[in-house]
Amino acid sequence: MSVFPADPTRWLPHRPPFLLIDEVLEVNPGRSARATWRLRGDEWFFPGHFPGQPITPGVLLLESIAQCGAVAVLDDPRYAGKLPLFGGVEKARFRRPVVPGDFVTVECEMTRLSARGGRGVGRASVNGQLCVEAELLFVVTDRP
């Protein structure tokens, strides 16, 4: 039985500075997950993206959605000991910049899941305002 909020390293092999979710709020194994990511302002990417106007890179927001989706997959006993990897991104739309101080809610719902991979739909929002949405494709591999 999971107790929430939970540490994402319970499921994910990612570690700082590339762990891009702080807490897992909810998991429906093999179906969906919801997590948070607080941008404190001291993250490694802000000084260069962009000097004087820090904005979270869109690819990192997509990665945070993928990490959230990976939690949903890895909480399913069929995928214990596996590693979901990006297979593609489709229909990505960026609606609002994410800046230092933002508290991002990240969600991902699986729309297809098989032994070899799947597809999910994810979104990230701040205070209920949509920042990014995308369809993510992934393959499932064995962990080294």
By annotation, the residues acting in catalysis are 49
AA letter at 53:
Q
Strands 129-142 and 82-94 turn out to be antiparallel
Residues 6+ apart with CB under 8 A from 37: 20, 21, 22, 64, 103, 104, 106, 124
User: How many other β-carbons are positioned within 10 Å of the β-carbon of residue 56?
Assistant: 24
